[in-house]
Amino acid sequence: MTFKSIEAKVDRGEPLDFADGVALFHEPDLLALGQLANRVRERLHGDKTYFNRNMRVEVTNVCVASCLFCSFAKLKDGDPGSHTMRLEEAWAKLEARMSDPPSEVHIVNGLHPGLPFSYYEDLLRGFKRIKPDVHMKCFTAVEIHFFAQHYGMDYETVLTRLQAAGLDSLPGGGAEIFHPDVRSRISDDKATADEWVEVHRVAHRMGIRTNATMLYGHIETFDHRVDHLLRLRALQAETGGMQAFIPLAFHPDGNGMKNLPAPTGIDDLRTLAVSRLMLDNIPHIKAYWVSTTPKIAQVGLRFGADDIDGTIVHETIYHAAGSTSPQGLSERELVRLIREAGRIPVERDTLYNVIREFPRSALPEAAVKVRDRKQALHLAIVN
Amino acid sequence: MAMNDNFSSLRVAAVAYLNARPLYLPLAESPHHGGARPIEMQLGIPSEVARAIAEDDADVALMPVAAAATLGDLRLVRGIAIAANGPVRSVVVVSDCPFDAIEDLALDLSSRTSAVLARLIFRARRKGGEPRLVGCSSSDAIGAVGARRGALVIGDPALMIEGKFRHSLDLSEAWRDITGLPFVFAGWFGRAGVLSPDDEARFRAAKAEGLARRDEIADAYAHQANLSAESVRSYLRDSLRYDLGDDERRGLERFYEEAASARLLPKATVRFFDDDRAPRSSTPEPELDTLLSRAADGERLSAAEGGRLLNEASFFDLGLAADAIRRRKHPHNVVTYIVDRNVNYTNVCTTSCRFCAFYRPVGHPEGYVLTRDQLRSKLQEVVDAGGVQILLQGGLNPDLPLTWYEELFQWIKTEFGLGLHALSPEEILHLAQIESLSVRTILERLHAAGLDSVPGGGAEILVDRVRRKIARAKCTSDEWLGVMRTAHHMGLRSSCTMMYGTVDSGADRINHLIKLRDLQDETGGFTAFFCWDYQHEQGTHLPPGENGTFLYLKQQAVARILLDNIDHVGASWVTQGPQIGQVALRFGADDFGSVMFEENVVSSAGTTFAMNANVMEKRISEAGFRSVRRNVKYAWLSEPI
């Protein structure tokens, strides 16, 4: 499989196959790979680069699953460090932001065995009461699967009840690596690949849009990554319900795989590029800057990515660090990152409707603060 | 002068040499002429005149043709030049041995037009081609003539030594013998559109007046320089020609072609101010793709071409061109790194740079000077880790005399045997100042005490307008370059750097690179180039300008393209982070810098990335390269792994 023949396929708009994908991951010429992915990205989106104003809430870190890659694995209620929010506590997060409200609330949690299902329904309703038009992007397929098992319902019933309470779309987390050789070793006690796919299939059938992710850079091989991408492409061919694909770089600190090195900048960019090239039927590829560092995410905007995620994570990090930096600064920083990459910043809502298109470039604004990958660790893992 | 005049005045620069006087003197003498806009005249040596155009301190300059090619994309006033058709007398190679027997040639390599002409003549006239070039100041060239060593002598000294050496080759005459064409030394150059037809007419009128006054100019000069009036009159009347007609144009075009194909100058085209006013321009801009492939082929590009690449070329195209150059210069797919330690011996500093969070003013309670005990434990760690050198830099601390450094260096050498990559030009100048000694003496004494090489820090942007804004108390560009020139002439090697992203523009950064390239042409003393953007964090007092990861990668690629005479480019992972450091290896870098035990200056500003040797090797290998440890001269210390 030569690079040239793959390039020809891409230019003809033909889908790439398994061997193509593996060859691309092994391609030594990083810039040639990036350039090819960039061509597809620009064909689809020109210079437009999306971001949104979202906020992130984790109502509980109590979890029955014991994923090797997760630093919060198997916390029980009452364990030191475990925390489950009272509903008012969760809602207060949005209330505190109402002077400059986000367009999206993104909720991802541990698999808590002791909460009633109504807790989640009330949670959603409460947010909608505060801001009726806020978009609730909540609960990964792994959580939906857990709800179905734990509360004795099928996926459709779970989703229908949540939708009635205010759920708008599903995030893409919990996909990890689908291939059983890997999944059985890193997270054997939560939704399987087929179950993850089935949750999304049901959601799509109900008109609920979703995202998808892949946690890479741990024990998986390039073959496993390509297999993962092809499973997503097959699902998308069936339903068309996925909006964005988000590769997540594995972080080795404080979890069961801490002896592994973190993925390199090269691998981050390569993975974005191959994802863009393989997933010809998923519209958006997101360079999730929390997982790769803002610098790599920014360069990623030339390696196939057309979305740099939202402002929220920023704010959470500041919050965790006790900082009082205004939220608006983070939006400025995102806009600056995008512009500096020579792209056009576009603020979107969760469903990729354009809220605001920014002019292409402006005078240099505030500096982008570079944060250590480590600081952003826990958010990357649970997206 | 009223504000209005400032806006409309024409800023003219000219080389203050005798042969230029007939062209600029009438303009300088009557800057206010009828209703025409007033002229602001500045006179200087060729590098100053070229700098004035490069940094937009002058609109038009009477400057040498090689300097114009280096800047690129300039226009000429039609009809006016300093040229010769046959012997010129003021550009000669003298020797005691026959021309063919010259093994070394002493010359001032900063006089680029005559240096390039000399090299082309040697290449064309001798089987052996060029002699070994020995760079020196132009005043030292004559004294350097030896048994097999000739000298290139230019200007007044050439007129003074006529008949004093057994052999003398007039280079303009040799040029005509080879090409049958006149040689053009200089002309009025400027950027497109800066002159109106009226302005051009004024330059022609000045020329006519100047030519009519040649004898008067010659006599005044002869008197002042103690030369024979007859000889100087004849020089201005008979040797020089001031026309730029078809023959001269062909001569200049031929020179540009030959110099470009010998890779001595960027490829330049001869264009006139009035070409742009013609209905259809006969020489369209070259395609960006052509420029990129010339860059990837390793051709020398002009400042204007470099600026165009920085502004217009795509991210990937720049990376691919820089990568192609890196591969050709370093064909073994190897990336080097060094195990050393950055030791900041003092943080007391008098310069108050606005981008620096590390320094403390004199008398500040947090000021320190490292004690021998502190140094001993730091240096022992370097030795224990297999380190080969230290990078020793500090603030400008007025309490530390030269002897303090001499004793320190001797002690480090005796006790630890480590290489000393020490004291940036700013620190050398500071020592020269507090000791009232010359830079050369300071360097000689430090060298004798153990100094091995000079780090290239403190260069920031070598454009004084920028330096004044970000580091008022720091040395000028010329001073910085002067220290490096002196060090290189003594045989010391150095690195060079660029810190950008404050108040600098793309043009400033290109000018910075060209200044480094010019000095490297003269001395060959730079080993490597590193660049990074200003790290705006706590403790710095300067808002960030044009910076960011994207620009960093593009800027480094453009540096790799322009700095065709510097062997190595290093990735600055300390400022950019290891991930971007890896990507930078595909944007022209072939070195991953230093395994840093500590680095206080950048980390005071909030950026801290640390790496040990194993991680370093791993990072390099993950980026697709073999790694090898090097010393400060970039020699491999083992086989690549």
Confidence band of A72 (pLDDT split at 50, 70, 90): low
Q: Does the pLDDT value for residue A283 go beyond 60?
A: yes
For residue B281, the model assigns a pLDDT of 55
Give the nearest partner residue to B583 out of A32, A38, A266, using CB atoms.
A266
What is the tens place of the pLDDT at every residue in A189-200?
Answer: 899 999 999 999
Q: Does the pLDDT value for residue A312 go beyond 60?
A: no
- Within 10 angstroms of residue B481's Cβ, the number of other Cβ atoms is 22
Nearest in space to A175 (alpha carbons), one of A254, A231, A243:
A231
B97 burial (CB, 10 Å; 0-12 / 13-18 / 19+) is middle
For residue A215, the model assigns a pLDDT of 94
For residue A364, the model assigns a pLDDT of 37
**Which residues are registered as beta bridge partners of B336?**
B591, B628
Q: Rounded to 10 degrees, what is the CA torsion of B483, B488, B493, B497?
A: 40
Contact A302 B316 (CB under 8 A): yes
Which of the residue ranges A77-91, A111-125, A165-179, B256-270 would you say has the lowest mean pLDDT?
A77-91
For residue A241, the model assigns a pLDDT of 97
For residue B5, the model assigns a pLDDT of 43
Chosen CATH of B319-629 out of 3.10.105.10, 3.40.50.2300, 3.20.20.70, 3.40.250.10: 3.20.20.70
For residue B611, the model assigns a pLDDT of 58
The CA-CA-CA angle for residues A152, A156, A159, to 5°, reads 90
Give the mean pLDDT of chain A: 86
Residues in chain A closer than 8 A to B545 (CB atoms): 364
Q: Does the pLDDT value for residue B217 go beyond 80?
A: yes
Please tell me which residue, B177 or B351, carries the higher pLDDT value. B177
Residues A279, A37 contacting (CB under 8 angstroms): no
**Share of residues in chain B with pLDDT > 70 (%):** 94
Residues in chain A closer than 8 A to B576 (CB atoms): 295
Q: Round to whole Å and give the CA distance between B381 and B229.
A: 70
Q: Does the pLDDT value for residue B120 go beyond 70?
A: yes
Q: Does the pLDDT value for residue B599 go beyond 90?
A: no
For residue B556, the model assigns a pLDDT of 97
Q: Where in chain B is the domain with CATH 3.40.190.10?
A: 3-84+184-283, 91-180
Confidence band of A372 (pLDDT split at 50, 70, 90): very low
Q: What is the mean pLDDT of residues A56-61?
A: 88
Range of the domain at A7: 3-382
Q: What does the block give as tokens for B75?
A: 């226009």
**Closest Cα in chain B, distance from residue A370 (Å):** 8
Q: Does the pLDDT value for residue B609 go beyond 90?
A: no
What is the tens place of the pLDDT at every residue in A208-229?
Answer: 999 999 999 989 999 999 999 9
Nearest in space to A370 (alpha carbons), one of A314, A328, A321:
A314
Please tell me which residue, A99 or B253, carries the higher pLDDT value. B253
Q: What is the mean pLDDT of residues A31-55?
A: 95
Give the B window 94-153 contacts with A, CB below 8 Å.
none
For residue B622, the model assigns a pLDDT of 85
Instruction: Find the closest chain B residue to A35 by CA distance.
Output: B316
Q: Round to whole Å and give the CA distance between B570 and B616.
A: 14
Residues in chain B closer than 8 A to A369 (CB atoms): 537, 606
Side-chain half-sphere CA neighbours of A152 within 13 A: 1
Which of the residue ranges A64-73, A359-368, B187-196 would you say has the lowest mean pLDDT?
A359-368
CATH hierarchy code of domain B3-84+184-283: 3.40.190.10
Give the mean pLDDT of chain B: 89
Q: What is the mean pLDDT of residues B381-402?
A: 88
Q: Round to whole Å and give the CA distance between B453 and A45.
A: 51
Instruction: Find the closest chain B residue to A296 by CA distance.
Output: B580
* Interface probe with B: pick from A26, A289, A299, most Cβ of B within 10 Å: A299
Q: Is B547 on the interface with A (CB under 8 A)?
A: yes
Q: Round to whole Å and give the CA distance between B62 and B190.
A: 9
**Share of residues in chain B with pLDDT > 90 (%):** 65
What is the tens place of the pLDDT at every residue in B155-211?
Answer: 888 888 888 999 999 999 999 999 999 999 999 999 998 999 989 999 999 999 999
* Number of compact structural domains in chain A: 1
Q: Does the pLDDT value for residue B517 go beyond 80?
A: yes
b/e burial code for range A41-73 (CB count within 10 A of at least 16 → b): beeebebbbbbbbbbbbbbbbbbbbebbbbbbb
Q: What is the mean pLDDT of residues B123-144?
A: 87
For residue B2, the model assigns a pLDDT of 36
Beta-strand relationship, A104-107 and A54-57: parallel
For residue B607, the model assigns a pLDDT of 47
B100 burial (CB, 10 Å; 0-12 / 13-18 / 19+) is exposed
Instruction: Find the closest chain A residue to B615 by CA distance.
Output: A261
Q: Round to whole Å and give the CA distance between B467 and B417.
A: 36
For residue B341, the model assigns a pLDDT of 84
Q: Round to whole Å and give the CA distance between B101 and B104.
A: 9
ipTM above 0.90, yes or no: no
What is the tens place of the pLDDT at every residue in B251-267?
Answer: 999 999 999 999 999 99
Residues in chain B closer than 8 A to A340 (CB atoms): 548-551
For residue B502, the model assigns a pLDDT of 87
Q: What is the mean pLDDT of residues A145-163?
A: 97
Enumerate the H helices of chain A as residue ranges.
Answer: 3-12, 18-26, 30-45, 87-95, 117-130, 141-151, 155-165, 180-186, 193-205, 222-239, 265-278, 289-292, 294-300, 312-320, 327-340, 377-382
Q: Does the pLDDT value for residue A319 go beyond 80?
A: no
For residue B440, the model assigns a pLDDT of 95
Residues in chain B closer than 8 A to A270 (CB atoms): none
For residue A290, the model assigns a pLDDT of 78
Q: What does the block give as tokens for B568?
A: 């190595």
Confidence band of B6 (pLDDT split at 50, 70, 90): very low
Q: What is the mean pLDDT of residues B299-303?
A: 94
Residues in chain B closer than 8 A to A367 (CB atoms): 536-537, 543-544, 547
Residues in chain A closer than 8 A to B586 (CB atoms): 30-31
Nearest in space to B218 (alpha carbons), one of B25, B82, B64, B387:
B25
Residues in chain A closer than 8 A to B607 (CB atoms): 370
Residues B301, B103 contacting (CB under 8 angstroms): no
Give the nearest partner residue to B583 out of A38, A299, A366, using CB atoms.
A299
For residue A291, the model assigns a pLDDT of 78
Confidence band of B321 (pLDDT split at 50, 70, 90): very high
**Share of residues in chain A with pLDDT > 90 (%):** 64
* Interface probe with A: pick from B310, B311, B314, B315, most Cβ of A within 10 Å: B315
Nearest in space to A51 (alpha carbons), one of A380, A293, A319, A286:
A286
* Interface probe with B: pick from A29, A30, A368, most Cβ of B within 10 Å: A30
Chosen CATH of B91-180 out of 3.30.160.20, 3.40.190.10, 3.40.250.10, 3.30.365.10: 3.40.190.10
For residue A22, the model assigns a pLDDT of 97
Q: Which amino acid is at B131?
A: P
Q: Does the pLDDT value for residue B4 go beyond 70?
A: no
- Within 10 angstroms of residue B634's Cβ, the number of other Cβ atoms is 17
For residue B195, the model assigns a pLDDT of 92
Give the A window 211-270 contacts with B, CB below 8 Å.
261, 264-269
Report the predicted TM-score, pTM, of the whole model to 2 decimal places.
Answer: 0.85
Confidence band of A83 (pLDDT split at 50, 70, 90): confident
Contact A269 B583 (CB under 8 A): yes
The CA-CA-CA angle for residues B363, B367, B368, to 5°, reads 125
Nearest in space to B632 (alpha carbons), one of B493, B468, B517:
B493
Q: Does the pLDDT value for residue B100 go beyond 60?
A: yes
For residue B284, the model assigns a pLDDT of 61
